[in-house]
């Protein structure tokens, strides 16, 4: 930054004595100190966004204790098969003898969420018990699909669900409908 030298004190040709003029300077040190104090204050008082995690209890696989396995009636079990291209296929019952025809859905309120709510309401009215949702990810599904279906179950407030392995007959259903 350049400064203008206005010293020139003493007599000039005209005989007048001029007083020495001082340069106008703004000291920025207090403003910089204040800026650092504000930055420090906001860094210390701001709460950082904590990642949200869903609690998921997974049972141990112990084939030596079959008496600890929970049997659920086929007519109250909704099987959700996760395919590729963000597609889902679901049915009620068993793969070799489904009680409802396998239906291909998308995610969202008009897709699997509507199917979950409708089926839960029908099963509750018919049997007086809650629906059990079995989530079966395939080799072609991705992690995002699993998180999306868990979110849909959380939104619909279903309490009974499990993540299980997909059977070969169910992979055949996915291949038949071109979502494997």
Mind giving me the DSSP string for 44-95? Answer: HHPPPPPPP----------TT-GGGSPP--GGGEEEEEE-STT-EEEEEB-S
Q: Which residues partner with 18 through β-bridges?
A: 10
What digits encode the pLDDT tens for the residues 42-97? 888 887 777 777 776 666 666 676 666 667 788 889 999 998 888 899 999 888 88
Once rounded to an integer, what is the mean pLDDT over residues 150-179? 89
Per CATH, is 72-176 categorized as 1.10.3470?
no
Residue 15: is its pLDDT beyond 50? yes
Q: What is the pTM of this model?
A: 0.65
Return the closest-CA partner of residue 94 out of 72, 113, 77, 69. Answer: 77
CA distance linking residue 149 with residue 142, whole number of Å: 11
Residue 116's pLDDT is 92
Domain ranges of the chain: 72-176
Once rounded to an integer, what is the mean pLDDT over residues 23-42? 89
Q: pLDDT grade, residue 1 (50/70/90)?
A: very low
């Amino acid at each position: 930054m350049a400064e203008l030298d206005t010293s020139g004190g003493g007599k000039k040709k005209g005989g007048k004595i001029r007083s020495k003029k001082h340069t106008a300077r703004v000291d920025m040190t207090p403003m910089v100190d204040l800026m650092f104090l504000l930055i420090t204050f906001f860094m210390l008082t701001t709460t950082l966004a904590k990642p949200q995690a869903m609690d998921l209890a997974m049972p141990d696989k112990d084939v030596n204790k079959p008496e600890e396995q929970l049997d659920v009636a086929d007519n109250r079990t909704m099987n959700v098969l996760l395919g590729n291209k963000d597609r889902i296929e679901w049915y009620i019952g068993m793969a070799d003898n489904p009680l409802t025809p396998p239906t291909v859905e998308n995610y969202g309120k008009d897709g699997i969420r509507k199917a979950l709510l409708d089926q839960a309401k029908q099963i509750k009215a018919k049997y007086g018990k809650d629906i059990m949702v079995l989530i079966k990810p395939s080799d072609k599904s991705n992690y995002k699909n699993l998180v999306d279906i868990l979110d849909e179950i959380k939104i619909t407030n279903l309490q009974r669900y499990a993540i299980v392995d997909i059977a070969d007959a169910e992979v055949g259903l996915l291949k038949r409908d071109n979502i494997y």
